Structure 1
Amino acid sequence: MSNIQVELAKTLKTKPTDEGKLGFGEIFTDHMFLMDYTEGKGWHDPRIVPYGPIPMDPSAMCLHYGQTVFEGMKAYRTEDNRILMFRPWENFKRLNQSNDRLQIPAVDEKLLLEGLEKLIEIEKDWVPHTSGASLYIRPFIIATEPKLGVKPSSKYLYVVVLSPSGPYYKSGLNPVKIYIETQFVRAVKGGTGAAKCGGNYASGLKAQEIAHEQGYSQVLWTDGIEHKYIEEVGAMNVFFVIDDEIVTPELVGSILPGITRKSSIEMLRGWGYKVSERRLSVQELEDAYQAGKVKEAFGTGTAAVISPIGELKVGDYVMTFNDGKIGTISQKLYDNLTGIQYGKLPDTHSWMDEVCKG
Structure 2
Amino acid sequence: MNSSSTQKLDIQKVATSRVGEVDFNNLTFGNTFTDHMFECDYKDGIWQNATIKPYGPLTISPAAKVFHYGQAVFEGMKAFKDDEKRVWLFRPVENFNRINKSSVRMAIPEFPKDIFFEALTTLVKMDKEWIQTGLGNSLYIRPFVIATQVGVSASPSTEYKFMILMSPAQAYYTGDVRVEIAEHYSRSANGGVGAAKAAGNYGAQFFPTNLAREKGFQQVIWTDANEHKLLEEAGTMNVFFRVNDTLITAPVSDRILDGVTRKSVLALAERDNLTIEVRPVLVAEIVEAAKNGSLKEIFGAGTAAVISPVSAFSYKGTVYELEKQQDGFASRFKKELMDIQYNRSEDPFGWRFEVA
Structure 1 unaligned segments of length 5 or more: list them.
none
| Secondary structure in 2 matching 1:85 | strand
Q: 1:295·1:327 contact (CA, 8 Å) conserved in 2? A: no
Listed one character per residue, the Cα deviations across residues 22-70 of structure 1 (whole Å, up to 9, x for unaligned) are 2211111111111111133x11121111111111011000011100000
Query: Normalised by the size of structure 1, how large is the TM-score?
Result: 0.94
Shift of 1:325: 4.5
Runs ≥4 residues deviating over 4 A:
none
Given candidates 161, 164, 170, the residue that maps to 2:168 is 164
CA distance in 2, matches of 1:292, 1:327: 17
Q: 1:20·1:167 contact (CA, 8 Å) conserved in 2? A: no
Partner letter of residue 221 of structure 2?
Answer: L
Shift of 1:127: 1.1
Partner letter of residue 73 of structure 2?
Answer: V
Shift of 1:284: 1.5
| Secondary structure in 1 matching 2:20 | coil
CA distance in 2, matches of 1:90, 1:39: 28
Confirm or deny that 1:86 pairs with 2:90. Answer: yes
CA distance in 2, matches of 1:326, 1:224: 35
Shift of 1:169: 5.6
Confirm or deny that 1:107 pairs with 2:111. Answer: yes
Listed one character per residue, the Cα deviations across residues 197-237 of structure 1 (whole Å, up to 9, x for unaligned) are 11101111111111111111111111111111001111100
| Secondary structure in 2 matching 1:269 | helix
Q: 1:175·1:326 contact (CA, 8 Å) conserved in 2? A: no
In the alignment, what sits opposite 1:27?
A: 32
Q: 2:173·2:308 contact (CA, 8 Å) conserved in 1? A: no
CA distance in 1, matches of 2:67, 2:42: 17
In the alignment, what sits opposite 2:17?
A: 12
Partner letter of residue 344 of structure 2?
Answer: K
CA distance in 2, matches of 1:118, 1:154: 28
Partner letter of residue 329 of structure 1?
Answer: F
Confirm or deny that 1:190 pairs with 2:186. Answer: no
Q: 1:246·1:276 contact (CA, 8 Å) conserved in 2? A: yes
CA distance in 2, matches of 1:169, 1:140: 23
CA distance in 2, matches of 1:14, 1:303: 22
Listed one character per residue, the Cα deviations across residues 157-212 of structure 1 (whole Å, up to 9, x for unaligned) are 00001111123365xxx322111111111111111110001110111111111111
Confirm or deny that 1:3 pairs with 2:4. Answer: no
Partner letter of residue 228 of structure 2?
Answer: H
The 1:259–1:2 alpha-carbon spacing in structure 2 relative to 1, beyond 3 Å, is same
In the alignment, what sits opposite 2:156?
A: 152
Superposition RMSD in Å:
1.5
Confirm or deny that 1:137 pairs with 2:141. Answer: yes
Query: Normalised by the size of structure 2, how large is the TM-score?
Result: 0.95
Confirm or deny that 1:50 pairs with 2:54. Answer: yes
Q: Which moved more, 1:18-27 or 1:226-235?
A: 18-27
CA distance in 1, matches of 2:172, 2:186: 27
Q: 2:135·2:338 contact (CA, 8 Å) conserved in 1? A: no
CA distance in 2, matches of 1:245, 1:279: 14
CA distance in 2, matches of 1:4, 1:108: 13
Q: 1:308·1:326 contact (CA, 8 Å) conserved in 2? A: no
Q: 1:75·1:83 contact (CA, 8 Å) conserved in 2? A: yes
Q: Which moved more, 1:107-116 or 1:183-192?
A: 107-116
Count, aligned residues: 351
Q: Which moved more, 1:4-13 or 1:343-352?
A: 4-13
CA distance in 2, matches of 1:189, 1:283: 21
| Secondary structure in 2 matching 1:75 | strand
Q: 2:14·2:35 contact (CA, 8 Å) conserved in 1? A: yes
